[in-house]
Structure 1
Amino acid sequence: MTQEVKRLRSVVTGVGSALPRRCVTNRELEGQVDTSDEWIVQRTGITQRYIAGEGETTSSLGAAAARAAMAKAGCAPEDIDLIICATSTPDLTFPSVATMIQAELGVLGGVAFDVQAVCAGFVFAVATADKFLTSGSHKRALIIGAETFSRIMDWQDRTTCVLFGDGAGALVLEAREGEGTNADRGVLSSKLRSDGRYKSKLYVDGGPSTTQTAGHLRMEGKEVFRFAVGHVTDVMTDAFSEAGLTVEDLDWFVPHQANQRIIDASAQKLGIAPAKVVKTVQWHGNTSAASIPLALSVACEDGRIKPGDLVMIEAIGGGFAWGAALIRW
């Protein structure tokens, strides 16, 4: 009989979120751009989104979400030794949003940095933090997804401006010893992929090295949809395989909240029952790297996600970059 070897796991101890004050409905957008509530809902499932106002930034939203997660985890600033912020809309070109949040929270030790994988950023950040924590180099991490995509929208482009919103979500991950089985609490597996050949399908047409401006988001919607549904399930299947689990073991699927049709098609392709899919796209729109932690926060607050549940997070973003992770809550 093979004896399992104990190992460190990255265990979720707290979840938090933050949204801007202003909620913008589809009806309000009808007065600003040539679109309709019916058109937006039919194609995306979105009914509203939150838009950052004066004084609300990626770092301020991220810090608010982080405070909420830390309160749930019962940890103080001195307990955090790793902060990773996933974002494509930083306050400044540098320093990183993570270091700005670190200062705002009063976290005086450890390391803080950003990761940039667009909408897949939060999955990349969780996978990265897991490597730090399970190596034994760090003990407690704050993982944040924070965005203000409204600041890079072309508000004359009705095909994109109706899709996105602003917000932030955060997790506290703590290194704890597990039994070395897939019944352990914590991150059980993660799979990441990138393919830079698809830049033109989803990108921002500006940057310090090219236009010296922030630029605007540009997207070929049909191509992004086709790739998302056709390719993203590979990392999901690989994550199940690595953990020695199957889709039948899954309690909750928490995908990137980009578009209701992408979410439904991806779940159907993998055989995930609709009742197991967490959707918040209708309330938040596409908040890029913030969408998964926002959805996790909602599902934890309403009691759906409970300790011991098996949760899969999954996302695809510009690049293309995509990934999935299995977490025992």
Structure 2
Amino acid sequence: MSNNVYINHTSAYFPNDPVSNDEMEEYLGYINNKPSKSKKIVLRNNGITNRYYALNKERKSTHTNAQMTAEAIKALFSDQPDKIREVQLLACGTSSPDQVMPSHGVMTHGQVPEIGSIEVVSPAGVCCAGMHALKYAYLAIKAGDTKKAVATGSERFSGLLVSDVFEEESQKLIEMEANPYIAFSKEFLRWMLSDGASAFLLSDTPNPEGQSLRIDWIEGVSYANDMNTCMYMGGEKQADGSLKGFMDFTPEEIMNQSIFSVKQDISLLSDNIVPRGGQKIKEIFERKGLTADDIDWFLPHISSNFFRSKIYDMIQEYGGGIPYDKWFINLYTVGNVGAASIYLMINELFNSGKLKKGERILLLVPESARFSYMYAMLTVV
């Protein structure tokens, strides 16, 4: 008999003070010593008003990804620090580790020595990496292999966005005005990405007092079988659609071609990111006998407000429609924190006082890297 799995505590950690739209270039720097011409257009489309950077105004790092993740983990046990030694598993998802090796998970573990010697797993990927960490912890508890686990999502993108290492986007301003998808490129990413970390404490028993979130199911799908790469870093897309990795470039090419910049293939993104997500929604709803009326809260991870109406239309087509008053999104105040975004939404909603026993929460996390998606259902208990 499989165990129920509960999220009993959540936390968030942001480095430094929030950065407003007007302050961004004070932290990231000016390209060619000039203010960006596209910044206002991109910000108008993404709707973000604040984000966080693990940087100071001298563009020096203030936190590593592992340090932020460790702070989020410690915050789970702020009231009872000794309880951290009851954790048996640590699963850490990110798309921006501080180094290629060792893994982000073990580097985070090294920042929390008080947790003791435990199993550590570190899923890679992009936005879905945090959900993959959550599913690993969920399955470990469900199978009875573990009683208490911590899952995390975190990102530290800011070091890739400073003017010293950022290649100016070549798209013309008029093209962005005519086609907002053009902005979903390196220039878009520069004005969208944010740093931070969030953590969940999972258990096979709910909180004795207060609320918990029961994880009813977590499902995912990848369309890499018939889709080329869309979002990438550490490589360069070739004319035939293949990806040439950084190890096949010379050091000079890596520098001159901005190989470690985060990039997107706009043509693939615009035609596929929303419809592909709808395919699995339809299949899940039909298989589980769900309708939109069964959903009390909808938490979609969106990289920009530009996609809000498009996801609404997709749910309308494939899932019967979820009205906006059931949506909960904090993109506008924290920015796009990649693998941490869904954690940060859940953390804010869980601690908002808005949830009622029995309510059901649907999660949707799209990842444009090669079109992967994660979905989950939580119930308030």
TM-score by shorter chain over 0.5 = yes
Give the Å deviation of 1:44.
1.0
Identity %: 22
Structure 2 SS opposite 1:8: coil
Give the Å deviation of 1:60.
1.0
Shifted more, 263-272 versus 114-123: the winner is: 263-272
Structure 1 SS opposite 2:122: strand
Q: Which amino acid aligns with 1:28?
A: E
Provide closer, same or farther for how the CA distance between residues 216 and 108 of structure 1 changes in structure 2, counting only shifts above 3 A: same
Unaligned runs of 5+ in 2: 56-60, 170-186, 207-211, 236-244, 316-320
Q: Which amino acid aligns with 1:195?
A: Y
- Distance in 1 between the 2:328 and 2:79 partners? 21
Q: Which amino acid aligns with 2:327?
A: V
- Distance in 2 between the 1:316 and 1:73 partners? 35
- Structure number with higher strand proportion: 1
- Distance in 1 between the 2:88 and 2:167 partners? 40
Q: Is the 8 A contact 1:70 1:172 kept in 2?
A: no
Deviations 1:199-244 (A, max 9, x none): 5321113466345778110013463243221111233344445555
2:106 to 96, 99, 102: 99
Structure 2 SS opposite 1:327: strand
Provide closer, same or farther for how the CA distance between residues 76 and 222 of structure 1 changes in structure 2, counting only shifts above 3 A: farther
- Distance in 2 between the 1:59 and 1:210 partners? 28
2:36 alignment partner in structure 1 = 34
What's the TM-score, normalizing by structure 1? 0.86
- Distance in 1 between the 2:131 and 2:280 partners? 11
1:127 to 117, 122, 135: 135
- Distance in 1 between the 2:299 and 2:6 partners? 17
1:260 alignment partner in structure 2 = 305
Q: Is the 8 A contact 1:118 1:288 kept in 2?
A: yes
Give the Å deviation of 1:268.
3.7
Q: Which amino acid aligns with 1:8?
A: N
Deviations 1:28-86 (A, max 9, x none): 34673424664234311112211112231111111111222344798722111111111
Q: Is the 8 A contact 1:78 1:107 kept in 2?
A: yes
Provide closer, same or farther for how the CA distance between residues 185 and 45 of structure 1 changes in structure 2, counting only shifts above 3 A: closer
Provide closer, same or farther for how the CA distance between residues 30 and 305 of structure 1 changes in structure 2, counting only shifts above 3 A: same
1:25 alignment partner in structure 2 = 20
Give the Å deviation of 1:156.
3.0
1:204 to 233, 240, 252: 233
Q: Which amino acid aligns with 1:47?
A: T
What's the TM-score, normalizing by structure 2? 0.75
- Distance in 1 between the 2:268 and 2:107 partners? 36
Q: Which amino acid aligns with 1:145?
A: G
1:235 aligns with 2:280: yes
1:51 alignment partner in structure 2 = 53
Provide closer, same or farther for how the CA distance between residues 72 and 124 of structure 1 changes in structure 2, counting only shifts above 3 A: farther
2:238 alignment partner in structure 1 = none
* Pairing of 1:1-329 with structure 2 (within 5 A): 7-29=2-24, 32=30, 33-35=35-37, 38-53=40-55, 54-71=61-78, 76-105=83-112, 106-153=114-161, 154=166, 156-157=168-169, 158-176=187-205, 186-196=214-224, 198-206=227-235, 209-211=247-249, 215-221=260-266, 223-241=268-286, 243-270=288-315, 271-317=321-367, 318-329=369-380
Give the Å deviation of 1:275.
1.1
- Distance in 2 between the 1:210 and 1:70 partners? 45
- Distance in 2 between the 1:246 and 1:284 partners? 30
Q: Is the 8 A contact 2:87 2:150 kept in 1?
A: yes
Q: Which amino acid aligns with 1:156?
A: E
Q: Is the 8 A contact 1:30 1:37 kept in 2?
A: no
Q: Is the 8 A contact 1:240 1:326 kept in 2?
A: no
Provide closer, same or farther for how the CA distance between residues 68 and 19 of structure 1 changes in structure 2, counting only shifts above 3 A: same
Structure 2 SS opposite 1:91: coil
Matched residue pairs, number? 318
Structure 1 SS opposite 2:150: strand
Structure 1 SS opposite 2:128: helix
Provide closer, same or farther for how the CA distance between residues 292 and 238 of structure 1 changes in structure 2, counting only shifts above 3 A: same
Give the Å deviation of 1:12.
0.7
Shifted more, 104-113 versus 132-141: the winner is: 104-113
